[in-house]
Chains A and B, each alone.
Chain A
Amino acid sequence: MARDGQALRLAAVGVAAHRQGLSAGMTLADARARCPDLATAPHDPVADSRELDRLAGAMIAFTPLVALDPCDGLVLDVTGCAHLLGGEDELVAGVLAAAGYTVRHALAAHAAAARALARHGTGHDVRALPVAALELDERALSGLRRAGLKTLGDLAARPMAGLAARFGEAAVMRLRAILGEAGSPITPLRLAEPIRLETRFPEPLARTDDALDVIEELLTRAARIMEERQLGGRRFRVVLHRSDNVRPRLVVETGQPVRDPAAVMRLLRERIDTLSDPLDPGYGFDAITLAVLGAEHLPSRQIGLESGKEDAEDSIAALVDTLGVRLGEERVSRLVPCDRHLPEKAQGLVPAAQARPAPWPAGGETPPRPLLLLDPPQPVDVIAGVPDSPPQRFRWQGRLHDVCLAEGPERIGAEWWRKRGGHIPGNAGDTRDYYRIEDGKGRRYWIFRSGLFGETPGPRWYLHGLFP
């Protein structure tokens, strides 16, 4: 549904809703009156156009000439393509399967006719199409209907001059385009050529350092191409073709799009250092190819007078990439909040190259949390009063601690809604009672009893965190 002025209107309807008599453009109140259990979602034109772009990309499998027909159509020029797939019917079946949506389609000799047939009619006869196929405004259409002109065939039999005088030049242009009397060219999408560069050598290259120089040269060329297209690479692959047909490949990924050859070279050197067997030129490299496998939009940066902040961000991103290549991506991580209940699940470590820093919710009035969490919680032996008293003494790692100060309990229930059958009493898991305690040496701990006396036989105690 979409907002149109003050009213909410249906922007598009599904098959089931169409069968119920709903149609696009109807107000939501009317639609609800006819069909009270109507499921609606907000209209997102941006996502629609992105999806259409994706479909257009997928249609390249059938024809090299694909044009967008906004906002919800695609025009495929299948001239000379059908026989490759075994005929027009097979082609259509393939396209419908690839699209994966409910699709109206039509085949015609030219784009305007195909478009009109797909949107306004059935069959193959453009002359039988209703005058609505001209897509004129409502006044002109009702004028045509009042004159008794129902189909395009009726219109085509009349002299064009009168039509142009009454309904404008555009009506005649459209009619002639649909009838095939005027051309209806399409503007096919141009696929960006993948960035692949290659250098072949007259003699095999026997030194790794020379190979690295060549790679740097390739990267500089790739950077120039990416600069023109305002792109930055996220994934680079270098394949070294050795004389004996061994092809070691080096793949590096970056957290931010980059096109600076020096930055990529640094990552590649790091990658070579971490290879389990070093890069062996053997009889030498015959050729080296570089491919930019993933690229994202990266506008040219204006050189600022005070570029300190951007430099700092760049240097962090470069550091994250370098350490990620050397140690493994999952070993450079950020702490992100998770909307969970249990303390150990309320946060997660995610690879820093993939996640942006997430804002943490403001603390508010929650009881204090420790600075460090022990993972897993450490079982401790505790002397405590039954049922709800804080510990008086506990033993951790073989050492006895006397509790001087204590605060609590803060009761944290188990996440019964995540557990199968958790809503049945006694099945939810153990409730935890957390205490903040301080021992004689001034060390503060977060300790909890897993389970309540009376519910769980012999509840265990665990140390879960350290306070400063």
Chain B
Amino acid sequence: MFQTHAPSRADPPPETPPRPLWLVKAQLHEVHAAAGDWASAMAFCLAAIEADARRPILLLRVRKDRRAQMRMDPCGEGWAPLGLDPARLLIVDARDDAGLLRAGLDAARQSGPAAVVLETWGNLREYDLVASRRLILAAEQSRIPVVMLRGDAPPRASAAHTRWMVSSAPSSPLEMRAPGPPALLVELQRRRGGPAGMHWRLEWNEDNACFREEPILPASAEPGADEAPPLSGAVVSLAAVRAGEPLRRTA
């Protein structure tokens, strides 16, 4: 889905961090985004997921009353240009957060879906170390990626393998000052057992039907800096040695 692209800036320092794998299989990932960047977060998560291209993707979300609030529904016609068949989408509406996590756990235990994406908003009290650890065990057993999409949520302690922060980036304008192809800013805030704190700018390449990535070096990470949260440091990554062994004790 991705194509590596040499940074356009002249003479990049040799210690440019290598790109990690994106949302890999058998792991739990958190993707944080603000409400206004929700489409970008969804696009990143669907494009970056390491999944079988035929099996269904489960999207779980909370709908207390199906008519009450403003809803954001996936638009099938908008999916297809991003290389995703909308017919693969299975949407599950849970009644509350606890029900959402329970349904997500059940889904993550099945090896049938290509991926499980949980759409959550706000603080999400029920999502703690134990809940995330359960999701990880389920994902490890079924070998599918599980993604927690977290909207307007403060980062909190969890056992997830990676935490990403996604926001929209200004696109490269087309002629007549029309908005260009989708562009996102992605920050890897935290990774278990690996370096974190890298930024990328992703831009959709229509010719190859994939996102093209371009690392943003920390010194020049200004374009989205006024809004982006501070770099890694808020959460200390686990040491590689510890992260390598499965944390059975906490489950």
List residues of A whose CB falls within 8 A of some B CB: 311-316, 318-320, 322-323, 326-327, 331-337, 343, 346-347, 349, 352, 357-360, 362-363, 366, 368-376, 378, 404-407, 436-438, 440-444, 465-468
Contact = CB atoms under 8 A, between A and B. Distances in A.
Given A336-B87, A337-B76, A362-B80, 20 more contacts: A316-B90, A316-B113, A319-B58, A323-B107, A332-B93, A333-B90, A347-B76, A347-B77, A363-B77, A366-B77, A372-B42, A374-B70, A407-B176, A438-B170, A442-B167, A442-B169, A442-B171, A444-B39, A466-B38, A466-B39
B78 A465 contact: yes
Interface in B160-199: 167-171, 173-174, 176-180, 182-185
B231 to A, nearest CB: 19
B112 to A, nearest CB: 4
Contact of B80 (A320, A327, A363): A363
A468 B73 contact: no
Interface centre among B76, B88, B169, B173, by most A CB within 10 Å?
Answer: B76
Contacts of A335: 74, 76, 86-87, 89, 91
Most buried by A among B99, B112, B173: B112
A346 B86 CA distance: 13
Closest 9 CB pairs of A and B: A468-B43, A315-B112, A407-B178, A466-B39, A442-B170, A316-B112, A369-B78, A369-B77, A468-B182
A406 B171 CA distance: 12
A442 B82 contact: no
30 contacts: A315-B112, A318-B110, A319-B107, A326-B103, A331-B92, A332-B90, A332-B91, A333-B93, A334-B91, A343-B77, A347-B75, A347-B86, A357-B56, A360-B87, A363-B77, A370-B39, A370-B75, A373-B75, A374-B70, A405-B177, A406-B179, A407-B176, A407-B179, A441-B36, A443-B37, A444-B39, A444-B182, A466-B39, A467-B39, A467-B179
Contact of B170 (A322, A369, A373, A404): A404
B108 to A, nearest CB: 10
Contact of A372 (B74, B93, B112, B184): B74
A314 B89 contact: no
Contacts of A357: 56, 87-88
Contacts of A313: 112
Contact of B90 (A318, A320, A375): A320
A28 to B, nearest CB: 40
Query: Which of A359, A378, A443 has most B Cβ within 10 Å?
Result: A443
A468 B78 CA distance: 10
A41 B122 CA distance: 59
A468 B111 contact: no
Contacts of A370: 39, 75, 78
Contacts of B55: 312, 316
Contacts of B63: 331
Contacts of A465: 39, 75, 78
Nearest to B223: A442
B87 A334 contact: yes
The interface centre, meaning the residue of B88, B90, B177, B180 with most chain A CB atoms within 10 A of its CB, is: B90
A441 B171 contact: no
Contacts of B179: 405-407, 436-438, 444, 467
B210 to A, nearest CB: 14
Contacts of B103: 323, 326-327
Interface string B80-106: 111001111111111100010001001
B87 A327 contact: no
B72 A372 contact: yes
B227 interface: yes
Contact of B75 (A316, A369, A378, A443): A369
A335 B73 CA distance: 10
Contacts of A318: 110
B49 to A, nearest CB: 14
A462 to B, nearest CB: 12
A371 B80 CA distance: 9
A360 B112 contact: no
B27 interface: no
A323 B99 CA distance: 10
Nearest to A333: B91
Nearest to B63: A331
A374 B171 CA distance: 22
B120 interface: no
Nearest to A368: B81
Interface in B104-140: 106-107, 110-113
B51 to A, nearest CB: 12
Point out which of A316, A363, A442 has the most chain B C-beta atoms below 10 A from its C-beta: A442
B112 A319 contact: yes
Nearest to A331: B93
A407 B179 CA distance: 7
A443 B168 contact: yes
Contacts of A444: 39, 168, 171, 179, 182
A334 B89 contact: yes
A290 B177 CA distance: 68
Contact of A343 (B39, B43, B75): B75
Given A311-B111, A316-B110, A443-B37, A468 B91 contact: no
Contact of B171 (A320, A376, A405): A405
Contact of A378 (B70, B95, B185): B70
Contacts of B111: 311-312, 315
A358 B75 CA distance: 15
Contact of A405 (B73, B110, B178, B185): B178
Contacts of B95: 327
